[in-house]
Amino acid sequence: MQFVSLSATEASVRRFIEELWLSYERTLEQTVKRFALNDDDELIDAEVEFRLDRLTEPEYELLVVLDTDDPVESIASTDAELVGFISTEIEDSPAVFDTPDSLRIGDFFVTEPFRGSGLATELVAWAVDRADREDCPELSLEVDIDNERAKAFYDRLGFETVKQTRAVSRATVEARME
């Protein structure tokens, strides 16, 4: 396996989106009740543009795992299969609060053939190393309430629920306020 930071080049980002990110999002559609991708033909182009912008931000990093033992400089320069990824972002604590900065885990995915192989744990270990390098004593993430497998994985690693996000349709609130 090779772990490669996604570079902010269109070829690398487009390959990541087409071969790995889209699979991640389609898996979420099957797992999470309230999740659905837009069927827009421009979906990939829009996501490529979004990721290119994000990758220029110093607090954001996305690590991609390739199924190869050969050294890889970028995912655009290899035919190796893309098998997982994790994104992280440094969240600065506002100065008015006595809380530490944290490293937020964003998108996180391992393809089906590699689930249960320890790869997900290796990706979290990379995030822990980044938190250490960035002097962030805490990691945080969000997990969808329907994603039982992910919740069990995070529980095993010691993550705890510290707040909840709640959602409701505007129409429901309006009807109940009458």
Residue 149: is its pLDDT beyond 70? yes
Beta strands in the chain (DSSP E): 2-5, 60-66, 82-91, 102-110, 138-141
Specify the pLDDT at position 133.
Answer: 94
Q: Give yes or no for residue 34 having a pLDDT over 70.
A: no
Q: Is the pTM of this model over 0.75?
A: yes
Q: Which of 27-41, 72-86, 119-133, 159-173 has the lowest average pLDDT?
A: 27-41
Taking the CA atoms of 108, 77, 68 and 18 in sequence, report the sign of the dihedral they define. positive
Q: 72 near 2, Cβ under 8 Å?
A: yes
Does 37 score more than 60 pLDDT? Answer: no
Q: Which fold has domain 2-177?
A: Aminopeptidase (3.40.630)
Q: Decide which of 42 and 75 is more confident.
A: 75
CA distances from 162 to 141, 142, 143 (A): 10, 10, 12
pLDDT in tens, 48-90: 999 999 999 999 999 999 999 998 888 998 999 999 999 999 9
Q: What is the pLDDT of residue 97?
A: 65
- SS3 percent helix, strand, coil of the chain, rounded to 5, is 40, 20, 40
